[in-house]
C-alpha cells in the first residue's frame, strides 16, 4: 500500500470528533503504514527533483536524480544504531541529546543517509524543545511531508525526498515569517560548514 505525499500547506482538516473505534482504526493504520510510506513514495519514482546548493548556501539548480534505495542491511551497516533507528524506522532521539540541538554553527544541514541539502542554519532557532528546529527547509523540493496518525495523534512527518530518511516532524507553533517549527533529529543530519 502506498501513500501519496500531501502538499506542504494543504493538509486536510481533521474532524472535531471521532468515535473511539474510528480513532483506534486510524492509529492502527498509522502504525502499520509508518515506516514504509515515505519509502514507497520515493522508491516508486524513477527520478526525484532535488535542489542543489553551493557550499556558501547559494541555490544552484534543480536536478533530476534517481532515488536512493538500499537494502535494510546496507543502511544498518552505513549508519550508527541510533541514526538507523531514527532515519529508517521513524524513531526519535531523546530531547537535548543531539549534537545540533543547541548548536549555533553556520552551515547547511544535509541528510545523513544521502547527503541531500535539507536546512540552513540561517533558519534555525532555539525552540527550547531539545531538538534542532528550523522555520523552513532550505528547499521544499528536497523534503516530503505527510500526515502521521501514529501514537493516537495527528502530526506531519518530514522525510528526505531522495532517500525517504525520517527526519522529524513539522508543527505550526514556530516563529515568523512562516509560523512553522521543523523539529528535526540531530542524528538524521550532518552539518556542512559554509565555504566562501
Catalytic residues: 183
- Please, what sign has the CA dihedral across residues 21, 34, 191, 53? negative
- Please, what sign has the CA dihedral across residues 183, 152, 150, 9? negative
Cα–Cα distances in angstroms (integers) from residue 137 to residues 27, 107, 184, in the given order: 28, 13, 11
Strand 124-125 with 133-134, pairing: antiparallel
Strand 166-171 with 48-53, pairing: unpaired
- Please, what sign has the CA dihedral across residues 153, 154, 156, 160? positive
What is the spatial distance between Cα 101 and Cα 120, in angstroms, rounded to a whole number? 14
Q: All 3 cell numbers of residue 64?
A: 533530476
Amino acid at each position: 500500500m502506498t501513500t501519496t505525499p500531501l502538499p506542504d500547506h494543504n493538509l486536510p482538516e481533521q474532524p472535531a470528533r471521532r468515535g473511539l473505534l474510528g480513532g483506534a482504526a486510524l492509529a492502527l493504520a498509522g502504525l502499520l503504514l509508518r515506516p514504509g510510506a515515505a519509502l514507497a513514495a520515493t522508491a516508486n519514482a524513477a527520478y526525484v527533483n532535488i535542489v542543489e546548493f553551493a557550499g556558501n548556501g547559494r541555490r544552484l539548480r534543480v536536478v533530476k536524480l534517481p532515488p536512493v534505495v538500499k537494502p535494510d542491511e546496507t543502511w544498518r551497516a552505513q549508519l550508527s544504531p541510533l541514526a538507523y533507528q531514527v532515519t529508517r524506522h521513524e524513531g526519535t532521539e531523546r530531547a537535548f541529546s543531539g549534537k545540533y540541538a543547541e548548536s549555533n554553527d553556520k552551515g547547511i544541514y544535509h541528510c545523513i543517509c544521502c547527503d541531500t541539502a535539507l536546512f540552513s542554519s540561517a533558519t534555525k532557532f532555539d525552540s527550547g524543545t531539545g531538538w534542532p528546529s528550523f522555520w523552513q527547509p532550505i528547499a521544499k523540493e528536497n523534503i516530503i511531508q505527510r500526515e502521521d496518525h501514529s501514537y493516537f495523534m495527528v502530526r506531519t512527518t518530514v522525510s528526505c525526498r531522495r532517500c525517504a530518511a525520517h527526519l522529524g516532524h513539522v508543527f505550526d507553533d514556530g516563529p515568523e515569517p512562516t509560523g512553522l517549527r521543523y523539529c528535526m533529529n540531530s542524528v538524521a543530519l550532518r552539518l556542512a560548514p559554509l565555504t566562501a
